[in-house]
Amino acid sequence: MHINLPVRGNRKLRRLMERVNEDRQLKGWWHVSNVNAVVRLEINDHSWVHIQIVANIALKILRQLFKHGVETSVVTDYGFERDDAELVVTLSALLHCIGMSVHRHGHEDFSLFLAEPKLRELLDGIYEEPDLTVVISEVLQAITSHRSDGQPLSLEAGILRVADALDMAEGRSRIPFERGRVSMHSLSAAAIDEVTIKDGESRPVMIEIVMNNSSGLFQVDGLLKAKLRGSGLEPYVEVIAHIDTEAEKRLVPIYRLEY
């Protein structure tokens, strides 16, 4: 259980990730969260794999924005550096669903009270007050804003909100789907082959979603659109989705309605 992120030249991020990968409590939260999600509720993966995917997607989106000259909120509002924005986005991704270790319902709020003391521990010596409290507050704001009715107040929070929705490829729904848990969520996730983030044609970020079945449009039009709307990323992101095969993949041989 090792989170891999491209830290590049960000020394603060490198130091943070060394601490994260040595933190047994974090790993415990991720494990319990996934037991609650996959074993007990039979929903999509919430393990460290989900955390790693979301963190990498979030960091990729952030760096795409920087590449095209877009500054994020902690830079413009507090005068922080881009490296600090990377820490805010990364920490938000790492801690956004640790509240699943308590319960699915209200997990965003549970994540907040678990994350605050852990953030002070992870950031000890990396920031001093008042910068420490600023960074922690921005991370907590991102965590609470990733809920379905969240209202991100920063671009960093919007990035987490969208990155969480972009962990939609078929691997995330594999376990509930193989167990016969057929729902629009698991079926549509099984229809997503790949998500790619790259330079856009008219905007800084293009999100390209490759599907094997048109049911994947539920992930795009039903879930991603809702997370993108109000994220603050709307002016910077374009999304395209397409089926990359001549024939659609047959996902369910027969479906029996249960009621």
Phi, psi of 49 (to 5 degrees): -65, -45
CA-based nearest residue to 239, from 207, 191, 195, 202: 207
Domain positions in the chain are: 11-243
Asked whether residue 189 carries a pLDDT value surpassing 80, the answer given is no
> Which of the residue ranges 59-63, 195-199, 242-246 would you say has the lowest mean pLDDT?
242-246
Asked whether residue 257 carries a pLDDT value surpassing 50, the answer given is no
- The span from the CA of 259 to the CA of 253, in Å, is 20
CA-based nearest residue to 31, from 51, 16, 5: 51
Angle, helices 24-34/48-67, rounded to nearest 10 degrees = 110
- The span from the CA of 145 to the CA of 171, in Å, is 25
Asked whether residue 259 carries a pLDDT value surpassing 50, the answer given is no
Looking at domain 11-243, its CATH class is mainly alpha
- Taking only the tens place, the pLDDT of each residue in 76-134 is 999 999 999 999 999 999 999 999 999 998 888 999 999 999 999 999 999 999 999 99
> Residue 30 in contact with residue 170, Cβ under 8 Å?
no
